[in-house]
A and B are shown apart, each in its own frame.
Chain A
Amino acid sequence: MKPRGKALLAGVVVALVAVFAVIWTTRDKPVELTAGTASYAVRLTVDSPRIGGNAVLVEVTDLAGAPVVADEVTVEPVMADMGHALTPVPATAAAPGHYRADPTDLPMAGLWELTVTVRRDRASEHAVFTLVI
């Protein structure tokens, strides 16, 4: 093989390895879901949902879009098909209206229902999200 051919071959191999490396290391896009209750809009973000501990970010605003400071925000995972409910995970406030439930343990693959409960002034409202793992 001529040196030029060798260089070409090497170039192709390097390019292929690079492509595979990019595909391999690219994580799933974070899942962003929105739902609402009577008085809040809730956005839920899970960075690459997987079996095991997940960091669930919850953003609570009122219907006009202003952040809501709640007394308590919890995330309750339920395996809908199995009818299996897990202990609610309390979310800690990261910023006004921003909450983080970490880790939220989702022990198996399938269809999960995550209910975000926003408690404020002794009234609770629930927003239900569907998440596939």
Chain B
Amino acid sequence: MRLVVALVLLLLGGTTAAAADGGPVGADLHVAQTVGERELTVVIRRTDGAPAPLRVDVVAHAGDPGGVIRVRAVPTGARAVSEAAVELRQPGPVGVSLSVDRFGAWELELDDGTHVARIPFTVPERITPAWERTAFGGFVAAGVFLLAALVMAPRGGRKALVPAAGVVASVAVGITAALLSATVGPKAVVDTGRPPVALAVTPDSEAKAGQGVWLSLDWYDAATGRPVDDLLVHHGALVHLAIISPNGTPTHVHPMRVGPGRYRILYKPAEPGRHAMAAEIARAGGGQQQIRAEVEVAPGTSQKSTVDNTGKVDTGAPVAGRPATLTADFGGPDDLQPWLGMRGHLILVGPGETLWAHAHALTSPMAGGQPDESVAAYPAKVSFTFTFPTPGRYRLWFQAERDYRILTLPAVVDVAPGGSPR
């Protein structure tokens, strides 16, 4: 019997992760980054181990200037290990192959010659949990003992009982480990929440109408004053920034990360005045939050702002406190593309600026992650449900994507007073 125990232990201890266990870990990372005048979506495909090739797709949108972007994979605390050039000629995706040589934290650098955006990503290592090793080991041991029992059985004698007992013991070990696996959670830390963030928006120079100005967005932890560098990619970007000009022209951009806690964006205000902005972020363990800020723009050469107006908006007659269905019909065929993983976006601001909201129309879930922008198959009509909390005048902007162009439909809605607000 000691022999049996020793064999079981040997088999359990000696089992390494089977090759079949080495499946891909993680998912594709979709990150929107506004690099200078380009609105890019970067798709970092999931890697299968390390060293491994790393596939990166850069999606350019209509209106982006052409040119070359250098893409580099940089492990933290080391130099770039691979570099490739992406030539952007027309809207759409361009794929490049890089390589990663180690597990852990990495940054993907996008270099347009003057500015470098740094997108953090992880090359995850697959760790085989103990229960999995035990379960596999148990069943392998059972197979070996079964063979031994079959060989010894015809020779008769009680010795065949030893491997037979081994089969029973190994199967018991394997089944117990497999059944208990559900109760063994991964070793995780409960991230109970993080302090709020403070946002400082600083223009490089005085913002003037008609001129592009670089804005620095610095994020600070409101409890410690330290830079916040734990922003998660949520809804396809690290930071979603909506800027509304005084006459109601919306800008929905995704500031590029240039360093820990620092993001930059090139903003072109069309007219002078107070440009209000709302940034949406998600901290690790801290949930999503919205931070409001503003930038004052001095008079300059005012330009007429352009907003696509092809399409219809149907809002019905919304009443405060009741869910309203808001439908944007972008017209044309049903070939809308998902933008930031969503069929449509709706930014609402009102009354005055007391409420600032951002609603989404979801795409249908897909195996292996969200559909990327190459899926041009979504209906031209996009509906949202939103409950206006208070009566008054709201400004709405519906956004969707077609042919890699971001479409924006503006609308104004007067919300009637309803019963008691919820």
| A binding-site residues for B, Cβ under 8 Å | 34-37, 40-42, 63, 78, 80-85, 110-111, 115, 126-128, 132
Contacts and interface: CB of A to CB of B under 8 A. Distances in A.
Given A83-B195, A115-B226, 10 more contacts: A34-B76, A36-B75, A78-B226, A81-B191, A82-B223, A83-B194, A83-B222, A83-B223, A85-B223, A111-B189
Contacts, number: 54
A123 B211 CA distance: 34
Contacts of A41: 76-78
A81 B192 contact: yes
A34 B77 CA distance: 8
B78 A36 contact: yes
B289 to A, nearest CB: 14
A12 to B, nearest CB: 9
Contacts of B191: 81, 111
29 contacts: A34-B76, A34-B77, A34-B104, A35-B77, A36-B75, A36-B76, A36-B77, A41-B76, A41-B77, A41-B78, A63-B77, A63-B79, A80-B230, A80-B285, A81-B191, A81-B192, A81-B193, A82-B195, A83-B194, A83-B222, A83-B223, A85-B224, A85-B226, A110-B189, A111-B285, A126-B260, A127-B76, A128-B260, A132-B189
Contacts of A42: 77
B75 to A, nearest CB: 7
**Among A80, A81, A111, residue most surrounded by chain B Cβ atoms (within 10 Å):** A80
Contacts of B329: none
Nearest to B76: A36
Interface in B216-242: 221-226, 229-230
Nearest to A39: B77
Contacts of B225: 85
Contacts of B77: 34-37, 40-42, 63, 127
A115 B260 CA distance: 12
Nearest to A38: B259
B194 A81 contact: yes
Given A35-B76, A63-B79, A81 B222 contact: no
Interface of B: 75-79, 104-105, 189, 191-195, 221-226, 229-230, 260, 285
**Among B79, B104, B223, B230, residue most surrounded by chain A Cβ atoms (within 10 Å):** B223
A127 B75 CA distance: 13
B117 to A, nearest CB: 15
B103 to A, nearest CB: 11
B116 to A, nearest CB: 11
Contacts of A34: 76-77, 104
A43 to B, nearest CB: 8
Contacts of B230: 80
A60 to B, nearest CB: 10
B2 to A, nearest CB: 9
Nearest to A36: B77
A82 B105 CA distance: 24
B199 to A, nearest CB: 16
A45 to B, nearest CB: 14
- Shortest beta-carbon contacts, A-B, top 5: A36-B77, A83-B223, A41-B77, A83-B195, A36-B76
B283 to A, nearest CB: 9
A81 B76 contact: no
Contacts of B229: 128
**Among B75, B193, B224, B230, residue most surrounded by chain A Cβ atoms (within 10 Å):** B224
Contacts of A127: 76-77
A78 B224 contact: yes
A84 B224 contact: yes
A36 B80 CA distance: 12
A84 B195 CA distance: 9
Contacts of A83: 194-195, 221-224
Contacts of A115: 226
A126 B227 CA distance: 11
Contacts of A85: 223-226
A126 B226 CA distance: 11
Contacts of B193: 81
A81 B285 contact: yes
Contacts of B222: 83
B398 to A, nearest CB: 37
Contacts of B192: 81
Nearest to A42: B77
A34 B106 CA distance: 11
A128 B226 CA distance: 11
Contacts of A111: 189, 191, 285
A40 B78 CA distance: 8
Contacts of B194: 80-81, 83
A35 B75 CA distance: 9
A48 to B, nearest CB: 16
A109 B222 CA distance: 22
A85 B229 CA distance: 16
Nearest to B259: A38
A37 B78 CA distance: 9
A32 to B, nearest CB: 12
